Structure 1
Amino acid sequence: MLRPARYSAPMQYSISDRKLFEADVSPDRRDASQPPDRSLGRVVSCSGARATIVASVTGPALGPNNIWAVGRLISINLGESRVVGLVYQMRVMSSGWDESGANAIGIDVELLGEVVDLPDGRCRFQSGITTYPPLGSLAHRIRSRDLAAVHDLGECEGAEIGTLSQDGAIPATVSIERLLSRHFAVLGTTGVGKSSAVALLLRKAVEAKPNLRVLILDPHNEYAHAFPENSVRIDAQTLDLPFWTFRFDEFADIVFRGRPLVEDEAEILREVIAVARSRYRSGAAHDMVRDLGSSVLKRPLDLGARRPAEMGGAAGLAVPYRIADLFAAIDELIGLHEQRYPRATLRSLRVRLETLHADPRYGFLFAHANSIETIAPVIGQIFRVPHQGRRVTVFQLAGLPSEVVNAVASSLARLAFDLAMSSRGGYEILLLCEEAHRYVPQNQALGFAPTRQAIARIAREGRKYGAYLGIVTQRPGELDPTILSQCSTVFAMRLANEADQQIIRAAIADASASTIAFLPSIGNREAIAFGEAVATTMRMRFLDQRPEELPAMLGHEPGAARRPEPGLEELVARMRGL
Structure 2
Amino acid sequence: MYSKDLQNSPSAGIQERRAWDQPEDRSLGHIVACDGGKATISAKVDAGESDDLAGWAVGRLVTIAVGANRVVALTRSMHTTSALWIEEAPNAFHVELELMGEVRRQPDGSERFSTGISTYPYLGAHAHHIRSSDLVRIYDHGKSDVSIIGHLSQDENADAAVHMSSMLSKHFAIVGSTGSGKSTAVTLLLREAIASDPKLRVLILDPHNEFAAAFPESAVVIDTHNLDLPFWLFRLEEFTEVLFRGRPAVPDELDALRDLIPEAKKAFRGEQAGSRRHGERNGLTADTPVPYRIADLIALIDERIGKLDGRNEKPYLRALKLRLMAALNDPRYRFMFSSNTISDTINETIAFIFRIPGGGRPISTFQLAGIPSEVVNSVASVLCRMAFEIALWSKGAVRILVVCEEAHRYVPSDPSLGFVPTRQAIARIAKEGRKYGASLGIITQRPGELDQTILSQCSTIFALRLSNDRDQEIIAKALPSSSTSALTFISSLANGEAIAFGEAVPVPMRLKFNRVQQKFLPTANGTEVAESTDDPNTISLTTIVDRMRTSGGPDISDFQSRVSASEASVFDAVAVTRPETTTESFEPPRRSMPEAADTNLEPYNPNMLPGSMRVADPSASRPDSRIDRYDSLLRGDERQGACGSSGLRNTLLKRPHDSFFKK
Number of residue-to-residue matches in the alignment:
526
Deviations 1:37-88 (A, max 9, x none): 4410011111111001110023587679711111000000113211000001
Partner residue, 2:139: 151
State the structure with bigger RCO (CA 8 A, min sep 6), 1 or 2: 1
1:502 is aligned to 2:473 = yes
The 1:63–1:410 alpha-carbon spacing in structure 2 relative to 1, beyond 3 Å, is: farther
1:250 is aligned to 2:238 = yes
Partner residue, 1:401: 372
The alpha carbon displacement at 1:426 in A equals 1.4
The 1:322–1:128 alpha-carbon spacing in structure 2 relative to 1, beyond 3 Å, is: same
Deviations 1:219-258 (A, max 9, x none): 0000010000000000011100000001111001111112
Q: Is the 8 A contact 2:213 2:520 kept in 1?
A: yes
Q: Which has more radius of gyration?
A: 2
Partner residue, 2:649: none
Q: 2:92 aligns with which of 104, 122, 127?
A: 104
The alpha carbon displacement at 1:372 in A equals 3.5
Partner residue, 2:421: 450
Q: In structure 1, how many angstroms separate the alpha carbons of the residues matched to 2:259 and 2:19?
A: 85
Q: Is the 8 A contact 2:211 2:365 kept in 1?
A: yes
The 1:104–1:31 alpha-carbon spacing in structure 2 relative to 1, beyond 3 Å, is: closer
Partner residue, 2:617: none
Q: In structure 2, how many angstroms separate the alpha carbons of the residues matched to 1:527 and 1:165?
A: 9
The 1:475–1:69 alpha-carbon spacing in structure 2 relative to 1, beyond 3 Å, is: same
Partner residue, 1:79: 67
Q: Is the 8 A contact 1:247 1:310 kept in 2?
A: no
Q: In structure 2, how many angstroms separate the alpha carbons of the residues matched to 1:516 and 1:58?
A: 32
Q: 1:310 aligns with which of 240, 261, 285?
A: 285
The 1:218–1:350 alpha-carbon spacing in structure 2 relative to 1, beyond 3 Å, is: same
Partner residue, 2:17: 30
Deviations 1:525-544 (A, max 9, x none): 00000001001001100001
Q: In structure 2, how many angstroms separate the alpha carbons of the residues matched to 1:535 and 1:554?
A: 37
Q: Is the 8 A contact 1:240 1:368 kept in 2?
A: no
The alpha carbon displacement at 1:262 in A equals 2.6
Q: Is the 8 A contact 1:333 1:339 kept in 2?
A: no
Matched to 1:431, the amino acid is V
1:229 is aligned to 2:223 = no
Deviations 1:448-480 (A, max 9, x none): 000000000000000110000000000000000
SS across alignment from 1:384 = coil
Q: In structure 2, how many angstroms separate the alpha carbons of the residues matched to 1:358 and 1:156?
A: 57
Matched to 2:134, the amino acid is D
The 1:260–1:329 alpha-carbon spacing in structure 2 relative to 1, beyond 3 Å, is: same
Deviates more, 1:34-43 or 1:65-74: 34-43
Partner residue, 2:564: none
1:422 is aligned to 2:388 = no
Q: In structure 2, how many angstroms separate the alpha carbons of the residues matched to 1:51 and 1:340?
A: 85
> 1:471-482 alignment to 2 at 5 Å?
471-482=442-453
> 1:349-428 alignment to 2 at 5 Å?
349-370=320-341, 372-428=343-399
The 1:61–1:85 alpha-carbon spacing in structure 2 relative to 1, beyond 3 Å, is: farther
SS across alignment from 1:445 = helix
Partner residue, 2:35: 47
TM-score under structure 2 normalisation? Answer: 0.76
1:165 is aligned to 2:153 = yes
Q: Is the 8 A contact 1:242 1:368 kept in 2?
A: no
SS across alignment from 2:239 = helix
Partner residue, 2:511: 540
The 1:149–1:340 alpha-carbon spacing in structure 2 relative to 1, beyond 3 Å, is: farther
Q: 2:121 aligns with which of 133, 151, 156?
A: 133
Matched to 1:463, the amino acid is R
The alpha carbon displacement at 1:573 in A equals 2.4
- Percent of paired sites with the same residue: 51
The 1:340–1:242 alpha-carbon spacing in structure 2 relative to 1, beyond 3 Å, is: farther
The 1:32–1:493 alpha-carbon spacing in structure 2 relative to 1, beyond 3 Å, is: closer
Partner residue, 2:308: 337
Deviations 1:262-310 (A, max 9, x none): 320110111221211111111299xxxxxxxxxxxxxxxxxxx99x733
The 1:33–1:498 alpha-carbon spacing in structure 2 relative to 1, beyond 3 Å, is: closer
> 1:112-123 alignment to 2 at 5 Å?
112-118=100-106, 122-123=110-111
Q: In structure 1, how many angstroms separate the alpha carbons of the residues matched to 2:167 and 2:130?
A: 28
The 1:95–1:389 alpha-carbon spacing in structure 2 relative to 1, beyond 3 Å, is: closer
SS across alignment from 1:115 = strand
The 1:79–1:353 alpha-carbon spacing in structure 2 relative to 1, beyond 3 Å, is: same
1:463 is aligned to 2:434 = yes
SS across alignment from 1:399 = coil
Q: In structure 1, how many angstroms separate the alpha carbons of the residues matched to 2:401 and 2:194?
A: 10
Matched to 1:432, the amino acid is V
The alpha carbon displacement at 1:569 in A equals 2.4
Q: In structure 2, how many angstroms separate the alpha carbons of the residues matched to 1:78 and 1:222?
A: 52
The 1:372–1:381 alpha-carbon spacing in structure 2 relative to 1, beyond 3 Å, is: farther
TM-score under structure 1 normalisation? Answer: 0.87
The alpha carbon displacement at 1:340 in A equals 11
Q: 2:182 aligns with which of 180, 190, 194?
A: 194
Partner residue, 1:23: none
The alpha carbon displacement at 1:343 in A equals 3.2
Q: Is the 8 A contact 1:530 1:537 kept in 2?
A: yes
